[in-house]
Amino acid sequence: MREISQDIEDELLTQDVWEAEDGHSPETPISIRAAQVFHRFEESGWFRLEKHGVEKRVTMRPTVNQFLTILVSFAETGPVFLSGKIRSIDLNIQQVIEGKADGDTLSETAEQARHLLEHVRNTGTNIRDIMEALARATTTAEYVRRFFSDYIEQVFIGDYRELRTKEHPLSRRQQIIRAVEELSSSEAHRARLIAWYETKRCSGDRQKAGILFDKDIHRLLELNRIDEYLDRLDDEIRRANRRALAYLDYRLRSLRPIDNLVKQAIVEALAGNLPAISDPFPPGEMISGDRLAEPRKSVDRAPPSSLRRERPSDAQVARAHVMLRAREARSVTPLTLAEFVVGRLAGADKVSSGRLALNSIGDVRAYQALAGLGLAMSSDSRRLQLSASVMAKGFRVTLEDDSEPEQALIAGRSFTVERRKAAAEKSR
């Protein structure tokens, strides 16, 4: 329970400014506001508090957990890459044919195939809906912004350009179809898989097991229609692109008063007020020998020289290894920074910057990183605090004062590294 409250406190610190609610203003202590949020989740049914002796555990109901999973999945929806899905289907079918997997893998693969075809079909519908919504855009800037944010980033297939190439896993769809037909026609495979369906999913009902098996096989064989769905999607994309280009071309042309100029020219022509002008042709003959294009001259170029292969010397290889080791020694990651902090704490709760022993370049780089985290955590910027919390795993860094004591290797503001206590330690 304490860990969840601590996570709520961290979110309250890193999120945007909160409005006053239920008598608690943003100036209320962070622990009270976190407790208020926790109790609200408990009262609304999102959290369920269970007691086991003196220990309290926080759980979520299965329906709430599933609803939260759907919300997160919907919020993180982006371009879909068909290569990963096709590769997964192909590998799973091979596992089933080789006898390394049973009906559970076949059923999951059939579900993946159904979702894949549904996504390809729905992409065309989403494109039509988005283009209809874009038609109601008031300005050209809004149209362009929504075209790239809604159309390109959200509903487009990530590897759409490579779908028709031989390197794309989609080129193996015929092998997948043949493998599925082998599972359906082979008596040994069919009996083995139907027996699994009968035992695991149908409680001994042989007829129902056969129906479920045929249903999954039919879903996998539907992959044979993916070319038809992709052709429809190509038509929708071409139509959407032509529509967008025509709209943008019209908007760009309408920036000039072309319509007014055309109307004015028509009025002047009907009134007979047009000035007498000569023909629009330049002086001289329209067609003559000196105006013809010269014949193309071929230029003989020397053939390219063969590529030379140069092997690095031992000194160059050694120098490259030294540079790589130097780069690795100077790189600071959350894991290396946490190891440095744990080693310097040595079981204590906190340690000041003046007591940090610096024995190598890696220690100096860790010291610099901790000093930067202290500045970020002490600032008023929510973005800096959030980025600092990503690097600080299990500890906090606070600045002591504005003075900069002199040290042998490095100088800067003093800070204190404090270990975040676990829930069990705080309960004592």
Give the SS3 label for residue 311.
coil
Report the distance separating Cα 124 and Cα 119, nearest Å.
9
Q: What is the pLDDT of residues 355-398, one digit of tens each?
A: 888 888 888 888 889 988 888 888 888 788 888 888 888 888 88
Q: Are 231 and 135 in contact (CB under 8 A)?
A: no
Question: What pLDDT score was predicted for residue 227?
Answer: 84
Question: Where residue 66 falls among pLDDT bands split at 50, 70, 90?
Answer: confident
Alpha helices in 254-331 (DSSP H): 258-271, 314-330
pLDDT given at position 424 = 46
Average pLDDT over every residue of 319-326:
89
Nearest in space to 111 (alpha carbons), one of 221, 216, 230, 224: 216
pLDDT score recorded for residue 154: 58
The pLDDT of residue 274 is above 70 = no
- 119 pLDDT more than 50: yes
Work out the percent of the chain whose per-residue pLDDT is above 90.
Answer: 7
Query: How far from the centroid of its chain's Cα atoms is residue 256's Cα?
Result: 41
What's residue 91's pLDDT? Answer: 92
CATH 1.10.10 fits 2-74, yes or no: yes
Question: Residue 56 forms beta bridges with which residues?
Answer: 51
In this prediction the pTM is 0.48
Q: Is pLDDT of 423 > 60?
A: no
Tokens of 396: 């906090």
Cα angle 107, 110, 113 (rounded to 5 degrees) comes to: 155
Say if residue 167's pLDDT is above 80. no
Q: What is the DSSP letter of 157?
A: B
Whether 124 contacts 236, CB under 8 Å: yes
Q: Taking 50 as the threshold, does the pLDDT of residue 326 lie above it?
A: yes
- Looking at the predicted structure, is the pLDDT value of residue 346 above 60? yes
Domain ranges in the chain are: 2-74, 78-248, 327-427
With CA atoms as reference, report the closest residue to 60 among 71, 69, 49, 74: 49
The per-residue pLDDT for 78 is 63
Which one is predicted more confidently, 86 or 30? 86
Query: How many Å separate Cα 392 from the centre of its chain?
Result: 24
Task: Report yes or no: 186 and 170 within 8 Å, Cβ to Cβ.
Answer: no
pLDDT at res. 21 = 58
Top pLDDT among 61 and 259 is at 61
Rounded to 5 degrees, what angle do the CA atoms 20, 24, 25 make? 45
Q: What is the dihedral of CA 348, 354, 358, 361, to 10 degrees?
A: 120
Return the HEC string of 34-55: HHHHHHHHHHHCCCEEEEECCE
Instruction: Kindly report which listed range (120-124, 275-279, 382-386) carries the lowest average pLDDT score.
Output: 275-279
Report the C-alpha gap between 161 and 47 in whole angstroms: 45
